[in-house]
Chains A and B, each alone.
Chain A
Amino acid sequence: MDAIYWPSVFFLIFGALACGFALAVLLSANIVRMAFYLVMSLAATAGLFFLAGQEFVGAMQLLIYVGGTLVLLIFGVMLTSQERFVNMKTLAGDWVIGMIAGGALLSLLTAAAFSVPEWRGPERAAVENLPIEPNATPIGMGLLGARVDQIGAPADERAGMAGYLFPFEIVSVHLLVVLIGAAYLARAKRRSNPLPTG
């Protein structure tokens, strides 16, 4: 009997968790339970990143997606809590439209996933020979505009790899604009009555 290849086992566990909870999001009717299953699915995805040794991406997944779902949950509770535990019914037409959109995306992603040569079949020997980069230094240098992970690449291939500084800056400025806009929209309106009403 061959020894069990444990990384694959853990991958399957986390992958099954992510897919199972994603299905639960689809099949559940209560909005808060949906959010809970979504958080579980996203956390299992973070587990996949940790399993791949990329704990920076995993922690990012926890901070942004799981934390973002938290805010979604708050709004879900705030907007639906007039009655107790609102159940959402999905109409048949919505099911059809959703199936068409989801199926199109699924077929596209499946085709893309199986076209990557390294993912065809278990090529364990090749995977085990991959260099281990257990940290975020290449990502951080890439955000500063230097692709240190591609230093070994030939010069003509390296021309297009300018790092992520420009997209990073664009996203930063965009977020700043959003923040200022939110602060503007949420600011206290000046009252016509100068006396404080308590």
Chain B
Amino acid sequence: MASGINNLLDWLLTSRLLSGLGLSVATDSVIGYVVAALIHIALIINLVAVGALVFIWLERKISGRIQDRLGPTRVGGKFGWLQTLADGLKLITKEDLMPDGADGFLFKIAPYVSFAASIAAFIAIPFAGGPYPWIAQHLNTGVFFVVAVLGLEVFGVILAGYSSASKWSLFGAMREAAQVVSYEVPLGMCAVVPVLIAGSMDMVVIGDQQAGLFTNWFIFHDPATFIVFWVYLTCATASVNRAPFDLAEAESELVAGFHTEYSGLRWSFFFMAEYGSMLSVSLLASVLFLGGWHGPIPIASLLGLTAENGDVAGYLGSLLGLTNVLFKGVVGVSVMIWIRWTLPRLRIDQVMATCLKYCTPIAAVMFLGAVLWQYNLPGRTFFGLLASPPAMFSVDEGWKAPPAVTSEPAKPAMVETNVKASTPRQVAANQGRGN
């Protein structure tokens, strides 16, 4: 991307309009890299920020409907779709309070730590696949990176809870820490199962192996993955601290948990981080289990919108893939909202029991089940009923094994080839005949 931007700039600067300036840009100039990085950052921050706006509106609307209310109706026309913007304006005008006894430096920096960790996960999440994936940084171990970064968001919460100098905040932070550290284990185990089936930790490869009809999605690969998906959903809900696992901000017990003392824009950063994390775990679920950028019916390849038919067709196909993956992400977030307004909050011991007594053992057994299934029925999909299709794009690990040493041919371990009687039994028979 960087070299393309440099070429574009060079073409612009040397064109008839601007050639009077006498400037030119080399192909590997710094400018292209900076511009490419800025474009990626701007896209990701916009996705998280605009996503938070939409999801907060969606949450208010869905919760209203579930509770037999209308939800916001006035701001911005019929559906109140500008309500979040009005909320944001209100938050900006609020006073930025800090308790007297607080540790000022940590109190101020905590929301940004949460927000930065929440955004960082999006670096490695692909939004379209194929030979030219839409991804900020194509990491070879993307799943691992995303799972590792998702666990860092809790750090800001702990800092906030500790530095607020309030017992409610400290209680909330300790609960959240215990919960997130516990739920990392089953979450990681669930994420390993699609990695195991795909044979790669590259999220682009994992997504592209589910190309074709919805029967190729990893959720329908075998019974074990089907169960693992629901365990993943539970653990993801718990690890982003949503109800019924929102012990850290249990209003009925802890005022507002870790963000009791926060107000205004700092408070809203925590919420942007929470909604960003919800979106990233949903996107991770959609890539790992739900086919990622491949819809239930392969419309893009039926219409010929693949990279083989030219750049424009490939671009349109990727656009369709982006729509698919974002739609699945939004559906995932909506399901989390639906769960929040349907189920009552668990007690802290019930939260821990759910993790340690149910999620972890089920994930471990299903991991074993997926291994056995894959070992006994390789190359089958849709619960073993159909043959899995050839991969749409060959797995490019980006690493070429060096050629084997040619001077030394591989030799069998035991059998010596220069003996005339080639097997021991014949040797024994020959000896017996001789005697």
- Majority-rule SS of A interface residues: helix
**Contact in complex: A77, B398 (CB < 8 Å):** no
Q: Which chain A positions have C-beta within 8 A of B174?
A: 74, 77-78
Per-residue 0/1 for B105-135: is the Cβ within 8 Å of any A Cβ (1 yes, 0 no)?
A: 1100000000000000000000000000000
Known: A32-B159, A63-B147, A151-B402. A135 touches B141 (CB 8 A): yes
Q: Is the CB of B152 within 8 A of A66?
A: yes
The reply on A39 being an interface residue by CB < 8 A is yes
B404 contacts the other chain (Cβ, under 8 Å)? yes
Nearest-CB distance from A103 to chain B (Å)? 30
Contact B181 A70 (CB under 8 A): yes
Contact B158–A77 (Cβ < 8 Å): yes
Question: Which residues of A have CB within 8 Å of B233?
Answer: none
Q: Specify which of B33, B152, B158 is in contact with A62 (CB 8 Å cutoff).
A: B152
A residues less than 8 Å from B151 (CB atoms): 63, 67, 70
A30 at the interface (CB under 8 A from B): yes
Q: Complex Cα distance A33/B113, Å? A: 14
What per-residue 1/0 map shows which CB atoms of B153-190 lie under 8 Å from chain A? Answer: 01100110011010000100110011001001000000
- Does A115 sit at the interface, judged by CB under 8 A? no
Question: Which residue of chain B has the shortest Cβ distance to A64 in the bound complex?
Answer: B148
Known: A59-B141, A63-B147, A155-B408. A74 touches B101 (CB 8 A): no
Residues A70 and B158 in contact, CB atoms below 8 Å apart? yes
Query: Is residue A84 within 8 Å, beta carbon to beta carbon, of the partner chain?
Result: yes
Asked whether any CB of chain B lies closer than 8 Å to the CB of A71, the reply is yes
A73 within 8 Å of B (CB atoms) = yes
Which residues of A, 53-67, contact B by the 8 Å Cβ criterion? 55-56, 58-60, 62-63, 66-67
Closest to B167 in A: A81
Is A118 located at the chain interface by the 8 A CB criterion?
A: no
- A84–B165 CB distance below 8 A: yes
| A133 on the B face (CB < 8 A) | yes
Chain B, interface SS category: helix
Number of A-B contacts defined by CB within 8 Å? 100
Q: How far is the CB of B171 from chain A (nearest CB, A)?
A: 11
A166 at the interface (CB under 8 A from B): no
Q: Which residue of B lies closest to A73 (CB)?
A: B158
Closest to A149 in B: B402
CB interface residues, A 84-136, toward B, < 8 Å: 84-85, 133-136
With A and B bound together, what is the CA distance between A77 and B170 in angstroms?
Answer: 9
Given A70-B181, A152-B405, A33-B106 contact (CB < 8 Å): yes
Once A62-B148, A136-B140, A138-B399 are accepted as A-B contacts, the answer to whether A70 and B101 lie under 8 Å apart by CB is no
Nearest CB on A from B161, distance (A)? 8
Within A1-39, the residues touching B (CB, 8 Å) are 4, 6, 30, 32-33, 36, 39
Q: State in angstroms the CA–CA spacing of A134 and B201 once bound together.
A: 13
**Interface size range on B against A:** 35 or more
- B59 CB-CB contact with A under 8 Å: no
> What are the residues of chain A within 8 A of B170 when measuring CB–CB?
77, 81
B346 interfacial contact with A, CB 8 Å:
no
Decide if A63 touches B158 in the complex (CB within 8 Å).
no
B145 within 8 A of A: yes
Bound together, the chains give a CA A135 to CA B396 distance in angstroms of 11
Cα-based distance from A84 to B30 in the complex (angstroms): 49
Q: Does A171 contact B (CB under 8 A)?
A: no
Chain B residues with CB under 8 A of A152:
402-403, 405
Complex contacts, B10 vs chain A, CB 8 Å: none
Chain B residues closer than 8 Å to A60, beta-carbon distance: 144, 148
> Which of A36, A60, A151 has the most chain B CB atoms closer than 10 A to its own CB?
A36
Known: A62-B149, A135-B141, A135-B398. A70 touches B106 (CB 8 A): no
How far in angstroms is the closest Cβ of chain A from B151? 5
Report whether B158 and A151 are in contact in the complex, using a CB–CB cutoff of 8 Å.
no
Cα(A135)–Cα(B105), bound, Å: 38
Residues on the A chain within 8 Å of B399, using CB = 133-135, 137-138
Residues of B within 8 A of A78 (CB): 174
Chain B residues with CB below 8 A from A62, complex form: 145, 148-149, 152
A70 pairs with B404, CB closer than 8 A: no
Which B residues are in CB contact (< 8 Å) with A66?
152, 155
Q: Which A residues lie within 8 Å of B415 (CB)?
A: none
What is the CA–CA distance of A74 and B401 in the complex, to the nearest angstrom?
A: 44
On chain B, the residues within 8 Å of A74 by CB distance are: 158, 174, 177-178, 181
Contacts A/B (CB < 8 Å), 18 sampled: A4-B30, A36-B106, A55-B139, A56-B140, A60-B148, A63-B144, A63-B148, A66-B155, A67-B152, A70-B177, A77-B174, A81-B170, A133-B399, A134-B398, A135-B397, A136-B201, A137-B397, A151-B403
List the 5 shortest-distance A-B pairs measured between CB atoms, nearest first.
A135-B140, A63-B148, A59-B145, A62-B148, A56-B141
Besides A151-B402, A152-B402, 4 other A-B contacts (C-beta < 8 A): A59-B149, A81-B170, A84-B165, A137-B399
Chain B residues with a Cβ under 8 A of chain A: 30, 33, 101, 103, 105-106, 139-141, 144-145, 147-149, 151-152, 154-155, 158-159, 162-163, 165, 170, 173-174, 177-178, 181, 184, 201, 397-399, 401-405, 408
